[in-house]
Structure 1
């Protein structure tokens, strides 16, 4: 991987990680286009760590409030922190569901990553669900204080679909949260905060790749540059999506997923590109 590729991968990862368009699908497509085959998991870990640090920085006040609230509720029996404790507990439950099911389907990941039909089909389904969710007229939506353990279970279950490139992690969690009646602001916040333990956990599980000499797989300078670019554009992506959802619809992301999905299915063949 050269410096130019490092910058492109960093930009794409940073912008697509938190948009409902599947960052994994975009990284796989870029690998096909550039003819790059990353040995080991070091590069993926680098990109994901940069993304999770960005979301921690952006939501640092929320993260602090949740951690403090859970501690005060459990240790000091502060009932005023019950809402923060429950919200944190819901994040833990959703993460546990995703982790447990993710382990079960992990063996199929290699097939998903090499199949244009699977990736393109998942993008088309993501686009379809984005359209459907915008057509639903809610008469009542629930706030963070009205969420339940069942909500966390369902969102965690849906997030497992993100093991398939094209099935966006942020998209599946956001769509599912909205579909079960959670207000948009809370759904966005829950989706972003849920990315922290999920991305951090998956990166920690794969950290052994770096310990075993994963940096030997590529240009260290390029890896560091990718990390920096990913971090910067992750911040941009987070800010942009939150502002977008306050005044715009998900239709445009759906259209993008449809276009990219058809291109992948009908025009991209990793064996030829």
Structure 2
């Protein structure tokens, strides 16, 4: 329990320590935009990869932190494309961590035991069907909001409001959730419902992990089960998002942008693996209230900074 609390504390405060210790002149080098990807140095890519990895699987929104923290540091918004590409590091981490679960689902779906086969087929189909909503709404956004990078929905103020709203919903789920069903009680319907919740993460600040974990608690899942299924459900969604953006960027990327992207992906992969292991260990014995209060404080602090003129709502 002590280890889990220390892990969470370090994970959520390490960026602050880096900010304080790094020379101010380096932070002020705001990158320029090329094809939706910010041109940045290796250190910036390393830090952004850390932020992505540390927050992707915690219910606090990686998109929000990747948008807000670089802006505060004077780097500017790294852009949707860069954010999606470094998520590939996160997907490698989650596949690596859950390789046994994934192979178990495939083997179990073709096994001889009828009950096990039916369960794994329902689970696999639930993951597939649960991926469809975020793909559908994601395609709608690309079609009808082509300039999504500069959309008001990605403004810092909107992210703060989303963070506060989701903190309240997660808190309500903690209060009302029965937390009775474990992993072997999952159904195909769980996949569909959590998939609908996952599509809410297209709104920056909502958090894919946060929305699915909240939905899982409302559906009566145990905390660790909800988180574990959330990670498995996220594999197709995160992979598709990363590959689509990678395809769009590869033809226009310059040689100077390749190394920072690689560094960002590797950094995101390493810290994603640590975050997955830490969160699952944490939720075995702890509640989600630390994330509820963190999100509430995060959103409130941003709105206060905007109101005080310390932060531009861009």
TM over 0.5, yes or no?
yes
- 5+ long unaligned stretches in structure 1: none
Change beyond 3 A, Cα 1:257–1:214: same
CA shift digits 1:200-245 (9 cap, x unpaired): 01122223223312245x5432222222211111111111111111
Aligned residue in 2 for 1:134: 174
Change in Cα spacing, 1:215 to 1:161, as seen in structure 2 (3 Å) is farther
- Residues 32 and 137 of structure 1: CA distance in aligned 2, closer, same or farther (over 3 Å): closer
Query: Do 2:130 and 2:196's aligned partners in 1 also have CA atoms closer than 8 Å?
Result: yes
CA RMSD, Structure 1 to Structure 2 (Å) = 2.4
Other structure's SS at 1:247 match? coil
For structure 2, the 5+ residue unaligned runs are 1-39
Q: Kindly indicate whether the alpha-carbon contact (under 8 Å) linking 1:40 and 1:214 is maintained by their aligned counterparts in 2.
A: no
Q: Which residue of 2 aligns with 1:247?
A: 285
TM-score (norm 1): 0.88
Listed one character per residue, the Cα deviations across residues 164-208 of structure 1 (whole Å, up to 9, x for unaligned) are 111010010011011011233321211010111010011222232
Whole-angstrom CA distance in 1 between matches of 2:89 and 2:201? 19
Aligned to 2:304: 266
Distance 2:113 2:285 in 1: 40
Give secondary structure in 2 for the equivalent of 1:30: helix
The match for 2:155 among 95, 112, 115 is 115
CA change 1:247–1:145 in 2 (3 A) is closer
Report which stretch shifted further, 248-257 or 218-227.
218-227
Pick from 120, 123, 148 the counterpart of residue 87 of structure 1: 123
What is the rounded CA distance, in whole Å, between the counterparts of 2:313 and 2:226 in structure 1?
41
2:204 match: secondary structure: coil
Counterparts of 1:213 and 1:243, CA distance in 2: 42
TM-score in terms of structure 2 length: 0.77
What SS does the aligned partner of 1:142 have?
coil
Which structure is higher in RCO with an 8 Å CA cutoff and minimum separation 6? 1
Aligned to 1:160: 199
Deviation at 1:263, TM superposition (A): 1.9
State which drifts further: 237-246 or 99-108: 99-108
